[in-house]
Amino acid sequence: MNQYDVIVVGAGNGGLVAAALTAQAGYRTLLLEKHNIPGGCATSFVRGRFEFEPSLHELCSEGSREDQDSATKLFQSLGVNVPLLYEDTLFRVIVKGEDGYDVTLKAGMEPFLDSMEEAVPGCRESVKAFFDLIDPIDDAMNTMGDGVPNPVNLLRKHSDFIRIAGHSTEEVMRALNIPQKAQDLINTYWGYLGVPTDDLNALHYLSMTTAYIKGRPSMPYHRSHELSLALVKALQDNGGTVYYNREVTRFLYDGQDAVCGVIAGGEAFWAKKVISNVIPNNVFNRSDNRHISKRSRKLANARKLGMTFVTIYLGLDCSMEELGVNDYSVFIARDRNPRKQFDTRDKFGLYIVNCLNKALPDATPKGTCTLFFTIPIMPGDLPADLSPETYKAYKNDMAEKFIRDYEETMGISVMPHIEEISVATPVTFARYLSTPRGAIYGYANERWDNIIARSVTEAMDYDTPNLYFCGGHYIRGDGYPSGYMTGEMAAKAVIRDLKEGK
């Protein structure tokens, strides 16, 4: 009875898409989730009269090649139709201090370039040239398709692609002579990508940021919980099954070191293929290590865990207008330079404040609004001596520090209006996501572990037979669309291999 074609472990963004697609392809699919609701980070929580969005800042389009982005197309192919509201601005950047600035960047490529030119006169052409590089990237990606690229072909026809893919964002920007201030302005966006732009691969940055600029940021009307429930419906409509409160505690292997099933909730489930939305570290910890290749272990041990956050969720008993907020997304920094922002992250280096009511005017009851603070930090940044007794005070002190700084920066008063407050830290994410150190962004996209290198060595890196991966820790890096797209990649690989009898 517990025999399936495909078992998907974890109902995060990647797992939901993977399971819905294999079910749609006609394979008997079981999705196992340790929580009692789907979504992982894509969820919501209710406090009093507020329903908070815990993680999503905006859905960026993916794949700017065509008008319609690939995540939207993927949703449509699954019959998932979730109403989205779009924002006209990308973000506002406030850099404090003497040589600081306060600039709001507009969404859509032309308005974006106009707002860049206004902020840094003379930068338009070079910034445009930078984002135009998405064309040679798309071109190269197109010819590569699913197969292994022919290196000679690549070198001859796609030299721009190769130059971009081999350098950091800042190296490419310097080559194009983008004025420093313009670079800094755009590069403040690193906070959402997890790696400062002197290290972040230019191709990664370009594909994410171009999609964000061109596609306009959007938000699901009923929080990201709606996206997750819609994907569960797609799974069920295609005959698939989801079991909640069933944490996979063991991965099972056959005589050839191939995964053949899992144990969840004390019960064994068998499958021809297993897709893990769970980070490889946890899979290996729940496997007999004899079945895990030496290379897999070396890779997992060599990797640096990705970014995590302290987040503050506020429900306020005044409207956005009464509060004096008029931006959806504000990046606040002490220094222009992304590396310095990263290095001083314990001293307000960079943080982001979102007001959902700007994007969704009736996101909260009339006369109220919400603020969502995102403070990028790295695993290990929490004080080492944090204990159960001191933890709550730490959270409150962090929240107070950042709310006060935001009040001072914006010249507004937030504190007296707090009706609901919730603060999450890597400890919270360790609890809900069960990732090592509460890492949210999987593995850091540092230079050697950037998405290009990951793509090239994918087959070598993930060598356990019958085991496939998807999610923020996988090759595309973090972000909702990346999660969805890796779910699609895993499903496609599984469907192909099942068809070929592999």
Partner 1 sequence: MANKNKQLESLSMGGFVKSVAERLRAVGKGSDGPVPDLLSYPENRLAQQLHPHVQYLIVEDIIDHSPDMKSYILAPDLKRGGDQLAWFSAGQYLVLQIALDGKTISRPYSIASSPRDTKDGHYQITVKRVEGGIASGYILDHWTIGTPVTASAPLGDFTYERLRDAKTVIGIAGGSGITPFRAFARAIAQGDEDFKLILLYGSRTKKDAVFSDEIAALAESCDKIQIVNVLSASKAKDCEQGFITAKLIEKYAPKDEDYSVFLCGPQAMYRFVDKELATLSLRQKFVRHELFGEYFHPEQNDDYPQDGKAVYTLTVHIAGQTHTVSCAADTSMLRAMEAAGLNPPSDCRSGRCGWCHSQLLSGDVYVPESVDGRRMADKIYGYIHPCCTFPLSDCELDVPPMPKV
Q: Please give the structure tokens belonging to residue 423.
A: 């603060």
Regarding 456 and contact with partner 1 (CB under 8 A), the answer is yes
Q: Does 376 bind partner 1 (CB under 8 A)?
A: no
The CA distances from residue 49 to 29, 57, 372, 426, in Å, are 37, 21, 16, 26
Distance CA 359, CA 329 (A): 10
Q: Given candidates 92, 96, 167, 340, which one binds partner 1 under the rule CB under 8 A? A: 167
Residue 486's nearest CA partner among 500, 468, 502, 498 is 468
Cβ of residue 263: shortest distance to partner 1, in angstroms?
10
Nearest distance, CB of residue 475 and partner 1, angstroms: 12
Range in contact with partner 1 (rule: CB under 8 A) among 10-18, 55-63, 91-99, 451-459: 451-459
Distance in angstroms (rounded) separating the CA atoms of residues 104 and 107: 10
Q: Report how far residue 419's alpha carbon sits from residue 49's, in angstroms, rounded to the nearest whole number.
A: 9
| Nearest to 276, CA basis, from 129, 442, 116 | 442
Q: Which is nearer to partner 1, 111 or 436 (CB)?
A: 436
Binding mask 119-148 for partner 1 (x = CB under 8 A): ----------x--xx-xx--xx--------
| Contact between residue 371 and residue 354 where contact means Cβ atoms under 8 Å apart | yes
Size of residue set near partner 1 by CB under 8 A: 104
* Interface region with partner 1, contact rule CB under 8 A, candidates 89-97, 329-337, 416-424, 471-479: 416-424
Of 222 and 492, which CB lies nearer to partner 1 in the complex structure? 222
Q: Show the site string, 299-338: x = touches partner 1 by CB under 8 A, - = not.
A: xxxxx-------------x---------------------
Q: How far is the CB of 261 from partner 1 (least distance, A)?
A: 15
Write out 315-330 in H/E/C secondary structure. EECCCHHHHCCCCCEE
Query: Of the listed pieces 63-71, 181-189, 332-340, 436-444, which binds partner 1 according to CB under 8 A?
Result: 436-444
d(CA 141, CA 206): 13
Counting contacts by CB under 8 A, is residue 198 touching partner 1? no
Residue tagged 């969820």 (tokens): 43
In whole angstroms, give the CA distance from residue 124 to residue 326. 26
Question: Does position 268 bind partner 1 by CB under 8 A?
Answer: no
Region 346-375 residues binding partner 1, contact defined as CB under 8 A: none
Over the window 67 to 106, marking each residue x when it contacts partner 1 by CB under 8 A and - when it does not, the resulting string is ----------------------------------------
Given candidates 109, 118, 391, 465, which one binds partner 1 under the rule CB under 8 A? Answer: 391
| Range 19-48, binding partner 1 (CB under 8 A) | 34, 36-37, 44-48
Among 25, 144, 418, 498, binds partner 1 (CB under 8 A): 418
Binder among 121, 239, 295, 361 for partner 1 (CB under 8 A):
295
| SS3 letters across 158-211 | CHHHHHHHCCEHHHHHHHCCCCHHHHHHHHCCHHHHCCCCCCCEHHHHHHHHHH
CB distance 103 to 185 below 8 Å: yes
Dihedral sign computed on CA atoms, order 424, 429, 433, 439:
positive
Among 104, 319, 344, 434, binds partner 1 (CB under 8 A): 434
Q: Please select the residue that binds partner 1; options are 109, 176, 258, 498, rule is CB under 8 A.
A: 176
Whole-angstrom Cα distance, residue 106 to residue 214? 10
Q: Which of 96, 157 has the CB closer to partner 1?
A: 157
Least distance CB 412 / partner 1 (angstroms): 16
Options 111-119, 187-195, 279-287, 467-475: segment touching partner 1 (CB under 8 A)? 279-287
Task: Name the phi and psi angles at 472, rounded to 5.
Answer: -65, -25
The least CB distance from residue 409 to partner 1, in Å, is 18
Task: Put residue 52 in one of left, alpha, beta given phi > 0 → left and psi -120 to 50 → alpha.
Answer: beta
Q: Identify the CA nearest to 55 among candidates 204, 200, 225.
A: 225
* Closer by beta carbon to partner 1, 93 or else 292: 292
Closer residue to partner 1 in complex, CB, 53/335: 53
Supply 99's token pair: 């040589």
- Decide if residue 3 touches partner 1 (CB under 8 A): no
- Number of C-beta neighbours around residue 65 at 10 A: 16
List 16, 78, 452, 495, residue binding partner 1 (CB under 8 A): 452
Per CB under 8 A, does 401 bind partner 1? no
